[in-house]
Amino acid sequence: MNDEDLALLIDAAREAGALARDIRRQGLEIAYKPDDNTPVTNADLAADRLLTQRLRAARPDYGWLSEETADDKDRLSRKRIFVVDPIDGTRAFLNNRPWWSISLAVVEGDQSVAGVVFAPEFDEVYAATVGGGATLNGQPIAPSEMTELEACRMVGDPVVFNHWSWPTPWPAMQIEQRNSTAYRMCLVAAGLFDAAVAPVRKSDWDVAAGDLIAREAGCFVGDHTGDGFRYNRVRPSQASLICATPALAPLILERVGHIGARN
């Protein structure tokens, strides 16, 4: 079933990506969400409608969790649910930067069992099923062999790492920012970066697909306490994000442990 779900997710992600690009060419309508002032476009909403129709028609017994759909707690009683971010990295999307993606996962119980992250501007499809490994456009991927934080390739916000509040300053690293959280995780999974760190809460739709892809590739994925992610809970979010090579993960966790217990 996981392979069938994966094929469904790949087709749906490609359709949503093509729709979003078409709408952007025609002209975007932009609004801002009242709760956090983040942008949402008519392309986000149209992609969400397409994915809702496409995925729920194919799997009517699955629950649903999406960034652009009101949360229906009926999902808590479902064996499997879709976890969807129609456009992850909306700011990049509306500013014609390439670092946005369609992020889709199937969660069974509290774990992802199939995941797809599609980056339309690069025509990159990252995909994984539980126990089946991770791929980029059908080819297996694996993380880098980086073992030291010094000079590692870190994908994240440079301001975060240079902040005065860190008990131990971070060493000199090659830090680059990418808007899509899911895409950041995939870049680590494919060995193009060595780690991704976000010491802030992340919604399930930000990480559910990238989590599975990165872990199946051989990465560590979890929060600042070192715990792995659990999905489809009443509050659908994770305390923070650490995604790294197996060698770098303990070095990063040592530096971020002071953030405190899971909240």
Query: CA-CA distances (angstroms) from residue 260 to 44, 58, 252?
Result: 34, 42, 14
Q: SS3 letters for 193-231?
A: CCEEEECCCEEHHHHHHHHHHHHHHCCEEECCCCCCCCC
Query: CA-CA distances (angstroms) from residue 22 to 16, 30, 95, 160, 213?
Result: 10, 15, 15, 34, 28
**223, 242 in Cβ contact below 8 A?**
yes
A 10 A CB-CB count for 69 gives: 16
For the chain, the structural domain boundaries read 2-140, 153-259
Q: How far apart are CA 132 and CA 114, in angstroms?
A: 9
pLDDT at site 261: 44
Q: How far apart are CA 156 and CA 160, in angstroms?
A: 8
Whether domain 2-140 has CATH 3.30.540.10: the reply is: yes
A 10 A CB-CB count for 223 gives: 22
DSSP 134: E
The architecture CATH gives domain 153-259 = 3-Layer(aba) Sandwich (3.40)
Average pLDDT per consecutive 10 residues, the chain (263 residues; last block may be shorter) = 97 98 96 89 98 98 97 97 98 96 98 98 98 98 97 95 90 96 98 96 97 98 97 97 98 86 43
pLDDT at site 262: 44
pLDDT at site 36: 82
57: Cβ–Cβ under 8 A, 6 or more apart, which residues? none
pLDDT at site 260: 58
Tokens found for residue 10: 């790949």
- Domains 2-140 and 153-259 equal at CATH topology level: no
C-alpha of 251 from chain center: 22
pLDDT at site 258: 79
